Amino acid sequence: MAVPRRADLAPPQKADTLADRAALLGRAPLLRRLPAEALARLAGFAHLRPMTKGETLFRRGDPGTGLLLVVKGRIRVSVPSTEGRDGVLNLVRAGEVVGEIALLDGHPRTADAIADTDGEVMLLERRDLLPLLEENGSLALALMEVLCERLRQTSAQVEALMFQETGPRLARALLQLSAVQRLASVAVTQKQLGEMAGTSRESANRTLKAWEAKGFVSLVPGRVTLRDEAAIRTIAEGVREHQEG
């Protein structure tokens, strides 16, 4: 099920006032450069809706009507394969946006967006954001920064898939998530980490278990904690003596 259009949105569950919505928007890195009056104007168009774990927010090829700001929870951005195994491009968390490419060009979605947890999102439609982009150079610059960061991540993933073995790919994915979450203990399943690295859950599990035995990481269900970040960085750079073998 795609994200419903404005008239079909469920009633907002939280932050129902204009001031509350403006405050939420102002905390997002993409929008925090906007002046208060621009945030208030955008808040008048924004809509909150709950999301349920496993819910499809939009599919690759759906019309690109705008972007989603994650208010609470996490969204998994992925591309499906003919073998039935998704390639995870990103895990988008509170304060981050998804759908920014369609916002700019108005073309169909380039990936799937699935609710990875229960939470809440704010829908910002293209027709409402474009005038603000034209009027506020700072917002345009912030959006370019988001797009450049996503492009860097995608380029690194493509390079890893083309030239690196499983160990370096997993290490790069783990370091990327650690940087995004700003934590050494990363909330991610082994299946998700494997999908980000372009490998199977079984292969990811074997590699992570080997790293755990060496003291590089510790594992609990749904979480990987970096114990020796320097060693993981060495693996990410492709130095073979630190790989699992």
Q: pLDDT-based confidence at 3, cuts 50/70/90?
A: very low
152 and 235, same domain (yes or no): no
Q: State residue 181's pLDDT score.
A: 65
- Which amino acid type is present at position 129? L
Determine the 3-state secondary structure of 40 from DSSP: helix
120 and 175, same domain (yes or no): no
Percent of the chain residues topping a pLDDT of 90:
16
Determine the 3-state secondary structure of 158 from DSSP: helix
Q: State residue 217's pLDDT score.
A: 92
- Residue in 45, 79, 43 with CA at minimum distance from that of residue 61: 79
220 and 143, same domain (yes or no): no
1, part of any domain? no
Q: pLDDT-based confidence at 16, cuts 50/70/90?
A: low
| Domain finish residue from 98, 122, 157 | 157
Ramachandran angles phi, psi of 109, nearest 5°: -60, 145
**β-strand partners of 220:** 223
List pLDDT tens digits, range 192-232. 888 788 777 888 888 999 999 999 999 998 889 999 989 99
Domain with 212, as residue range(s), is 165-242
Chain position carrying tokens 């924004």: 46
Handedness of CA 151, 107, 140, 146 (dihedral sign): negative
Could you tell me how far CA 53 lies from the centroid of its own chain?
15
21, 39, 47, 103, 198 from 35: Cα distances, Å: 14, 6, 20, 21, 41
The domain total for the chain is: 2
Q: State residue 241's pLDDT score.
A: 39
84 and 175, same domain (yes or no): no
Could you tell me how far CA 67 lies from the centroid of its own chain?
12
CATH label of the domain that carries residue 10 = 2.60.120.10
Number of Cβ within a 10 Å radius of residue 57 = 24
CATH label of the domain that carries residue 218 = 1.10.10.10
Q: pLDDT-based confidence at 9, cuts 50/70/90?
A: very low
List pLDDT tens digits, range 102-126. 777 788 888 899 999 999 999 988 8
Rounded Cα distance between 114 and 86, Å, is 11
| Domain finish residue from 140, 157, 174 | 157
220 and 117, same domain (yes or no): no
11 and 127, same domain (yes or no): yes
Please say if the pLDDT value at position 82 is more than 70.
no
185, part of any domain? yes
| Domain finish residue from 133, 157, 181 | 157
139 and 83, same domain (yes or no): yes
230 and 117, same domain (yes or no): no
Q: State residue 58's pLDDT score.
A: 92
137 and 180, same domain (yes or no): no
75 or 105: which leads in pLDDT: 75
93 and 196, same domain (yes or no): no
**Tokens (6 digits) for 105:** 């060009």
101 and 175, same domain (yes or no): no
